[in-house]
Homo-oligomer: A and B are copies of this chain.
Amino acid sequence: MAKKDKKSKGPRGGSFRDALRVGDGFVLAELDPRSTPGFTGDKVAGQEALLAADEEMDTLQEQLYAMSKAGARRRVLLVIQGMDTSGKGGIMRHVVGSVDPQGVQLTAFKAPTAEEKKHPFLWRIRRALPDPGMIGVFDRSHYEDVLIVRVHDLVPRAQWSRRYAQINAFEQGLVEDEVTVIKVMTHISADEQKARLQERLDRPDKHWKYNPGDLDERAHWDDYQEAYQALLERCSTDAAPWYVVPADRKWYARLAVQQLLLEHLRELDLTWPEADFDVEAEKARLAQM
Contact = CB atoms under 8 A, between A and B. Distances in A.
A6 interface: no
Nearest to A281: B212
A273 B208 CA distance: 7
Nearest to A198: B286
Interface string A95-107: 0110111101010
A215 B285 contact: yes
A55 to B, nearest CB: 13
Interface stretch (A156-164, A173-181, A199-207, A260-268): A199-207
A275 interface: yes
Contacts of A96: 101
Given A92-B100, A100-B97, A215 B289 contact: yes
A92 B97 contact: no
One complex includes copies of this chain to the number of 2
A215 B286 contact: yes
B207 A289 contact: no
Give the interface SS of chain A, mostly helix, strand, loop or mixed: helix
Interface residues of A, number: 42
Contact of A93 (B89, B100, B106): B100
Nearest to A92: B102
Interface string A257-289: 000000000000000111101010011011001
Interface string A136-163: 0001000000000000000000000000
Contacts of A207: 272-275, 279
Contacts of A289: 194, 215, 218-219
A273 B99 CA distance: 30
A46 B109 CA distance: 38
Interface of A: 66, 69-70, 89, 92-93, 96-97, 99-102, 104, 106, 108, 139, 194, 197-198, 201, 204-205, 207-212, 215, 218-219, 272-275, 277, 279, 282-283, 285-286, 289
Given A208-B273, A210-B277, 13 more contacts: A70-B208, A92-B102, A93-B102, A97-B101, A101-B106, A102-B106, A205-B272, A207-B272, A207-B279, A211-B277, A212-B285, A215-B286, A218-B289
